[in-house]
Amino acid sequence: MKEKEENICDDLQKEGVRFVRLQFTDILGIPKDVEITIEELPKAFEEGMPFDGSSIEGFARISESDMYLKPDPDSVLVYPWASHTKGGEAYKNAGIVCDVCTPEGEPFVGDPRWILRRVQGEAGEMGYSLYAGPEPEFFVFEREGEEPSTILHDRGSYFDLVPIDRGEKTRKDIVISLEKMGFCVEAAHHEVAPSQHEIDFQYDEAIRMADDIMTFKTTTKTIALQHGICATFMPKPLAGENGSGMHVHLSLFEDGKNCFYGADKPYHLSDEALHFTAGIIEHIDAITALTNPTVNSYKRLVPGYEAPVNISWGQVNRSALIRVPATNTPEVSTRIELRSPDPTANPYLAFAAILKAGLQGIKEELTPPQPVDEDIYNMSMQAKEEKEIGTLPGSLGEALQALEEDDLIQQALGSHVTEKYLQAKYSEEEEYKKIVTDWELEKYMKYY
């Protein structure tokens, strides 16, 4: 075992950690973990932790089921909330993000974290590293006994305060917990819809940010549960209200320099930034299958609820798919903001697809369409056609079809994950089609 890993084991024991959660993410973006005692951590560092990959969605067949979790020593964190034994004794838990490997020690091709690492490696060969800054939104609802519900916890709106924003205490406790784990939280506030909130944290290198998104979601749900309520990252839990998105700010860096900054360019966007933007737009239909991966995602991506359904870009234009945020420090902070993703996305796969498309845009020196700085929400269909503004896929099925037809995004995922992902998501859509909703009963029963 390396000295760094030995020091980690010693420090965790001194801090009173009793259990360590070895964390990873399946292809659907669902967090998983295997819990071990602190005494077993040295062995996990040295040998990895074996588990049955055939039991994890999209991982492996029965005949290839042996997998190993290799803890990443740079991802160790101690959860700031205490757990208790039945006798009331308090103890601490730690978490470590793991890479999934084969018994031979090779990266498993179905591991979403490795897929992003591989595409980030392609960026590195070009001299780039992708940095991302997410803005995840979520709802908090009351619980009915032990079960979650859609009973509103508050009826606040954008930037409301207590007593209207009854979720403020929960949100602050989430922020405090994140900061204790090393997050740099930039903002936290009530969002537009009732019981809806947003917490933004500082941008970081893409793999680390994907790790942080998964930790953030787990933390949010845990703290909400401690407050007797439930948190959900479901994009559209309430009909007639804005849905939850996860806008992602993106930029490429090279040796500490922001490659998206162009001093004398319109919007301060460099040629690389324009090419990168064009690459995303070129492949956005297939990317949407990953950034908006559920049937429910497409109930957010509809006109009238501030969701970006129009394929366009512009400066400070919140009706566009991609906007260029204003900044007082353009040399460092010039970036683009992709506004379509939602928080059900597997961040590793979503970032890998976005990066692959952007890099291809740079390689081919693609040119984005003309920017649109008008309010597209209120633009006529004729005006959209004249400006050649397309629309995002209108359903999960449409997005999956686009993924099937996009060789580049399939390359980003690899054949294993492409096959397993399409299989799982088509199955999800078929399952949804068989459901008869309350709306259908109300709409049709009395007339037909």
The model's pLDDT over 193-205, given as tens digits with 9 standing for 90+, comes to 888 999 998 999 9
Average pLDDT of the segment spanning 12-22: 93
Q: Is position 247 annotated as part of the catalytic site?
A: yes
pTM: 0.94
Q: Is position 318 annotated as part of the catalytic site?
A: yes
Q: Please tell me the distance from the alpha carbon of residue 188 to that of residue 170, in angstroms, as a whole number.
A: 11
Three-state DSSP at 158 gives coil
Residue among 165, 337, 342, 406 flagged as catalytic: 337
Q: Is position 339 annotated as part of the catalytic site?
A: yes
The model's pLDDT over 343-380, given as tens digits with 9 standing for 90+, comes to 999 999 999 999 999 999 999 999 999 888 877 877 77
How is residue 197 written in tokens? Answer: 């909130």
First-to-last CA distance in the chain? 71
Burial label, 415 (beta-carbon count in 10 A; 0-12, 13-18, 19+): exposed
CA atoms within 13 A on the CB side of 37: 2
Whether cis (ω within 30° of 0) applies to the bond prior to 103 is no
Mark out the alpha helices in 189-340 (DSSP H runs). 206-226, 271-282, 284-291, 297-300, 330-333
Q: Please tell me the distance from the alpha carbon of residue 365 to that of residue 263, in angstroms, as a whole number.
A: 19
Residue that is written with structure tokens 């089921």 in the block: 65
CA atoms within 13 A on the CB side of 346: 29
Banded pLDDT at 208 (limits 50, 70, 90): very high
Q: Is position 191 annotated as part of the catalytic site?
A: yes
Q: Is position 171 annotated as part of the catalytic site?
A: no
> What is the CATH number that goes with domain 3-107?
3.10.20.70
Q: Is position 15 annotated as part of the catalytic site?
A: no
How is residue 24 written in tokens? Answer: 């990873």
Q: Is position 5 annotated as part of the catalytic site?
A: no
Residue among 99, 111, 198, 406 flagged as catalytic: 198
Sequence-ordered list of residues with C-beta below 8 angstroms from that of 198, at least 6 positions apart, any chain? 135, 136, 137, 138, 187, 188, 189, 191
The model's pLDDT over 72-112, given as tens digits with 9 standing for 90+, comes to 999 999 999 877 665 667 789 999 999 999 988 899 999 99
How is residue 161 written in tokens? Answer: 């305060």
* CATH class belonging to 118-439: alpha beta
Q: Please tell me the distance from the alpha carbon of residue 33 to that of residue 37, in angstroms, as a whole number.
A: 13
Kindly list the domain boundaries of the chain, sorted by start residue: 3-107, 118-439
Give the model's pLDDT for residue 409: 98
